[in-house]
Every structure is written in structure tokens, then in C-alpha cells.
Structure 1
Amino acid sequence: MSFPWAKHYAPTNPVTRFLDEKLPLPRLVYNAVGAGYPVPRNLNYMWNFGVLAGFCLVLQIVTGVILAMHYAPNALVAFASTEHIMRDVNWGWMLRYMHANGASFFFLVIYLHIFRGFFYSSYKAPREMIWLLGVVIFLLMMATGFMGYVLPWGQMSFWGAKVITGLFGAIPLVGEPIQIWLLGGYAPDNAALNRFFSLHFLLPFVIAGVVILHIWALHIPGSSNPTGVEIKSESDTVPFHPYYTAKDGFGLGVFLILFSIMVFFLPNFLGHPDNYIEANPLSTPAHIVPEWYFWPFYAILRAFTVDFILPAKLWGVLAMFAAILIWFLLPWLDKGPVRSGHYRPTFRKFFWFGLIPTMAVLFYCGGAPAEEPYVMLSQIATAYYFLHFLVILPLLSRAERTEPLPRSITDAVLHSDKTPVLGENAEPAV
């Protein structure tokens, strides 16, 4: 967004002046994350997760490139090469633990980032494209994470690959050919391992490209804020640097402390014990389970147990993908005029006592065995999950009575004006 009060880049050093004339990279950085980018003055720490996600992506790319120098994508030696990295490569153990736990922290940050978007309705106009690109990034992360989980070639890697790729076999007519095409054969082996390794190496760079588009789209309407009120004057903003670079720096420091504790003291806490056993196609684990960040969608997949018109397995596959694809529709499902959940009392109840517990149940059931009562809990949680997005949100956007909005961001920060833009007795949105 172009603000008339935004500071303009004016290099004084001859070197930076020459560079700005020939390749305006300093100007780009200044306008993107520097004093030339005004942002709302009331952003809280929930807005740190975008920067943390960017840091996680860089961390994964750097550690992944180094690990790829020592990894052998061959079914006969993949497990041994992973052990070689852990035992023989200088600091290899730390690089692998950083990469493995970095994936978990990356997904944790992204989940918090997404649910912040749910609460503050970051998908509403004029920020639809930012949201849509964010969902694309999440889908690419899911694909990258799944392929990376296969690479150590442990028991859970092998059987996870077999189960997940087997889902495509549920698609009528074309499912089995697609499954064979993905694996390069009838079961995970050298062909699958090579393909997954190549894509796992490539997709983070694709994610980086989409992240650039995501940030570009963000700078057109500008950042959202906890009130959901748009910027109206210079007093509503502060320069991104130094105010939010300092705030993001503090958040990054806390993140690095927690990440270091995990890497150095609890490096295997999030890993499955069976994945430290070399893959054996003749020995099926008692309980096949993906990484924790796939658990809610895995629970949705397993929630369908009865054939009804279509096979239960196909219903589960469709529901699993629909659980994410439905996020693409949020800008049009939730058409209410008020963005922030702080001013939507009924929405807050459904969010904190409906959606959040539902996701907690799905996370838990996705990591639990496929038996009762976990299957029943998954079915109830799955039903509410789709009910929330397809029924409750559209109805709330039309019928909910919202609380008064401040007239500006400055008024919200200083509490200087209690006059509402949409009063408590305002008519429901149509």
C-alpha cells in the first residue's frame, strides 16, 4: 500500500547510490521491511509468526542442502547414510536434529499463524489473495513434510509412504495407475525414494517463491491488525523498523531458546521409535502413524468407516483433502463486516469452545490407534469441523450482533473514543 507519509529511500553513500540506480535492492528492502513500510501501531505478538515462519523456512533450506550432500537416496543404503550423518559427519547429528525438529517448529508456527488468521478474519477483503497464497504454502509444506518423513527409510517412513500413497488407490478408475506412477512401482522402493528425495529438495524453493508472492500481496493492502479497522491516518502507523524489527527480534529470541532446548535436550521427543528401525517390507508396525502435524487430517481420514454410495476409504480421502481446501472458500463463506474476533462475541464462543477443542480432539485422535473411542471422537470432531466452516460461519456473518468498533487504530490504542462505527444495536449484516 502506498502511504503519502511513508519515508522514501534516499541513499547518501556513493556505493549504495550506485547500487540503487543500477539494481534497486536496498530500496526494495527498505520499503518491504524497513522504515519505508508503515504498519499499524497496535500489532501484538500474534503478528510475530510470519517472521518466525520465514526464519524456519531459511533454516530448513540451509540444513537440508547440507544434509543432502551426505544422504544417499537408495533403498539399500538410505538408512545407513542417515546413521552415517548422525555418527561420522562433523556436526551431522546437530544438523539432522535441527532439520527434523525444525520441520515440527515450522508447522507449529504455521498452525498458530493460520489460527490467528481465523480469529482475526485475515482472509476478508481486501486481503483475499494473501490468504489464498498462504493456503497454497501450507499445502506445499504438507507435501514437503510427507516426502521428508520417508527419506530416513525407517519402519514408519516405509509404511507411512505405503499408506499415504495407497490413498490415491481409492480414486475410481484412475487411482491405481496414479499410485503406481507416484511410487514408480507397486510398493515404495528405489524409484519412490529417488522421486521423494528430488521433490523434497525442490519444493522448499517453490515455497520460498510463493512466500515472496505472499509478502508482495501483503504490501498491497498493508498489514491487518487486532481491531480489524483499516489505517486512516499517519497516527495509526509506525515504521516497521525499528519498532517491529525489535519486537520480531524478541520473538525470535524466545523461539530460538525453545528450539535449542528441543534440539539439544529433547531431540527425539517428537520422533516415532519405529523409525529408528530400518525399513522392513515384511514386518508391519502395530500402529502406523504419520508425524504429529498430519494428525488432525489423518483423524479425518479414519473417521469414515461405513460405505455409503461411495467406499468409506474414498469418503475419507475426499474429506481429508476437503478439510484444507475449504480454507480457500473462507473469504466468501464469512461475509460479515467485522473482522476481529474481539468484536464478535458469538463468534468468540464458537471459536474458543468449538473450533479449538475440535482441533485438539483431531490432533489427539490422529495419533491414537484406530479403535474406539478414538474413531467415534474423530467422527464427532470431523462433523463439527465442517459444520463450523460451512454452516456456522456463514450464519454468524449474517445474524451476529457485533460490539462497537473504534473509529481508528489510534483511538483503540489510546482508548480516546468510545463512539462506535458499528454500534451494539446495529442491524445484522445482510
Structure 2
Amino acid sequence: MKNLNDAKQIYWNPLVETLPLEKLKALQLKKFKRILKWAYERSRFHRRLYDEAGLKPEDIKVYEDVTKVPKVEKSMMRDIQRKDPFPYGDALCVPLEEVTEFRQTSGTTGTPVYQPDTWQDWEWWSEAWAYLLYAQGYRKTDRVFIPFGYNIFVAFWAGHYAAEKIGCEVIPGGVLDTEARILKIQELRATAMMATPTYVLGMADTAKKKLGIDPSKDLTIRKITCAGEPGASIPSTKKRMEEAWGAKVYDHVGATEIGAWGFECTAQPGGIHINEALFLTQLEDVETGEIIEEPGRTGKIVITALDRIAQPCIRFDSKDLAQWAEEPCPCGRTFRLLKGGVIGRADDITKVKGVLLSPSAIEEVVHGIKGLGNEFEVIVTKKGDLDDITLKIEILPEAEGNRESILTQLRDQLRLKTNLGYNIEVHPYNSLPRYEVKAKRFKDLRGKP
């Protein structure tokens, strides 16, 4: 590995993080063939899937053959679970007694999927997070506060263990409420934190409004790792967080069934690196299924966790949308960049009044207007045969005098950025829902009674 005491070292694993692309692809192909064979021999689900497609593991000979392997969707995993070996069903590749960790997906897109991991898998999780935390500047000198209710969602569990692996001191803020967490950060002079963008902004708001604490001046947090939402890759949201805390904010992308596969580095290049040592990622045209190699073209992320063995993740259709960056990152990593991080989800982008709409575009507008609160809510309904879209917002108390100017700016920016008109509802400050984990701000009620 590397010398953890070398403050100038910017790579967790210098060898693989700077491998030439062809060598990196060769490593990925070797690992892909291994996990494919493992799943075919041990998972009833994968063997059935591949047999039905007429595919055998030995058919994968070169990197380009990877696309021959059928994709897996989350709905397929839901269908095979809650049966023997209970509760994981047909995709489990190890004896039940080797499963040491249980997690499940958040259920925001349907019935939760159960995720078993062996101890080896859990070490792999920590290693993936160690790559990203080290790339974001976490070192042995950091005292890391984690304001996360430790539970069955994976969230920041692996971040906790990876921070320990790096040598950081970790403060678990599990059962504390928001005010107590802020006071504990102040008391112990924590230097780093992990949370969702929504909660990062919510904590700053609580600190100022209820405790009279300005996080940018009165607290010592200097770096924040975000996950669970796209906010840290949305420029206006990132700016709000960095200004509120006086800290650098970094994005991270992962999923319970995949792992921690993407991260922003200290160079903040306007995108995220894919951890290509541990994951094989392809962008696929949403309409045609064609593999996208050129920059600037949006595609759907299809991803393989190359080393996860209990319940393999092979050619998983993440539904996340992204595009390759044009230039390599100045940090020197050869891991490829996704420009702007994950820019949306295929199942989030919906057509309203004939226009394709992404919720992240609305967030970019709301968080880019001074005087608006951090929280908002979007509701799409039908009025007769016509779509109707309502945006609920809050105006900061100190900005009430500029209400008309703020609303005019909001309407203009929404029309410019989304090509849609909205019914704007101004709600009393602090009345819209607040979230600690994944915010649920977009509600499409068309077709519902």
C-alpha cells in the first residue's frame, strides 16, 4: 500500500490509481471473468439468467465481450428474495453461516432489496470507502463526526470503518438529535463529517437559528463527504453547503446492491472518479443500448462490483445517468471521470407538459437563488387532461422584504432551465418536511386517486 504518514501522498493505492488505461482494462477483465464464473457456479439466479441467454462464462474472452452478459435490474432481485435460503433467495453464493452483515435498500423505488455480505465483502466495502476518503483528504489527524442513525440502511456504515482503517478518530453521532450533534462537533472540535446534502444544509440552519452558532466560524469542520442524493455535484447546492460550513464539500456515489463506486477528489474537477480498480462501469444509450465511449453524451450506468461474493452485482442497471468528461483529472488518477457526477436517474426523469424534467434541475435553480430556504417540494398532478406542476418553497425570514424580486427571479430561472411554468406556493419558513437521509421532494401524483 502506501506510507500513511506521508502527508504528500494523495493516493490510497498509488499503483492501481495511476495504471495506464489498457492495464486497468486488463485487470478489470480478469476480475470480471472470475466473478462471472463464481456466480454461474453458485447462484441459481445467475445460472438461470445466463443459460436462458445461451451464455457460458468461457464465452467472455476479451473486454468487449462484457456486453454479451445480460443485465440485472433491481426488480429482478425483488422477485427472487424472501425465500430459501431465507431471506436472500436464489442469488446467494455462500452458505448462510458465512453471511455476517445484513443491509437493505432504502425502498424509495419499491420493495427493499436485502443485501447479504460476508466478512470479506465488508472488508471490500471499507477498502472502497478508503479510496474515496483518502482522495478527499482524510488523514490520521482527522476527527470525523458521523451524524447518522446507524440502522439497516448501509448509508455511512462503511464510511465509519474506512475512516478507522485510514487511522482517523471517528465519533458516531447516532442517537443524538441535530442540536446535540452540533454541540458535540463544537465540543470535540471535529474536523470532518459525512452526511446527505439535505442534512448538511439542515444542520447549518439549525445551528444558526436555534443555537446561534455559525458553522463557518464557530465550528472546525473543514471537509464534508456527501452521499445519498445528487446535491454535492449540483453547483448551487455545493456552494450553499461550502459557504454555510466554511468547508470543502465532496461527492460520493454508491448503492447498497453495488457498493461505493464513485468519488470526487480534492481537485474538485467538476465530476466524480469511478473506482475502476473495484468496479467495471459502462455507459449505455438509454434508447438503443449502445455502449457510449465519447464524452458529452448522456447514458445509463451499467456496473459490476468486481470483488463482491455473497450476492454478486454483475452488469447491474443502476438507472443512474451520466456522461464521460472530456479531460482527465489534474489529480493524476487514471480512473475515468463522469462530468457533473450522476446527473439524474432514468426512472426520475419524467415528461411533464411534453417536456422531459429532472428534479435535479429544479434543485439547481432553487439553491441558486439567494433568499430562498434550502427545502422545497415539487408536486405534479393532472387537471383534466393537462399536467399541472406546483413548486412549494420557503423564503428566509430576513429576505421577506425581497419576496417579489425573489419570486420573479425564480420563475424566470425555472422557465430558462426547465422550459416549464410552475404554480409557486410560498410556505412559512421551517414548515416543509426536513430529511436526514434521502430527501423525497419530488411527487408525481398523476394517475393516483
Shorter chain as denominator, the TM-score bin is under 0.3
Please state which structure has a larger fraction of its residues in helix: 1
Higher relative contact order (Cα pairs below 8 Å, separated by 6+ residues): 1
TM-score if structure 2 supplies the norm length? Answer: 0.24
Q: Answer with 1 or 2: which has the greater Rg.
A: 1
TM-score if structure 1 supplies the norm length? Answer: 0.25
